[in-house]
Amino acid sequence: MSATLPALVDHQPGNPLHGITLAAMLEYLIEHMGFDAMARAVEIRCFTNEPSLSSSLKFLRKVPWARAKVEQLYLRCRARSG
């Protein structure tokens, strides 16, 4: 079974986030929106209280619901920018 697992992980047709790291998503959002706008869009403390890339990564890796909201924000922002 382990021989088929890498094939399943590497093949994700239709997943717009495939191959994009959480760090890359945050870097894009920070550059295009800034933490203030990110905090208004997704109300989480890592964007409002002394925000930084490293603190946001640490929090979002531990909290699946927050990560999902940030992923959706990233997809909306990318769709708007073309």
| Domain spans, the chain | 18-81
Residue 58 has pLDDT above 50, yes or no: yes
Cβ–Cβ contacts within 10 Å for residue 51, how many? 17
Reported confidence tier of residue 1, pLDDT bands at 50, 70, 90:
very low
Residue 4 has pLDDT above 60, yes or no: no
Express each pLDDT in 30-47 by its tens digit. Answer: 999 999 999 999 999 999
The average pLDDT across 42-65 equals 95
Residue 5 has pLDDT above 60, yes or no: no
CATH topology of domain 18-81: 1.10.720
Give the up-direction half-sphere exposure of residue 9: CA atoms within 13 A in the CB hemisphere. Answer: 6
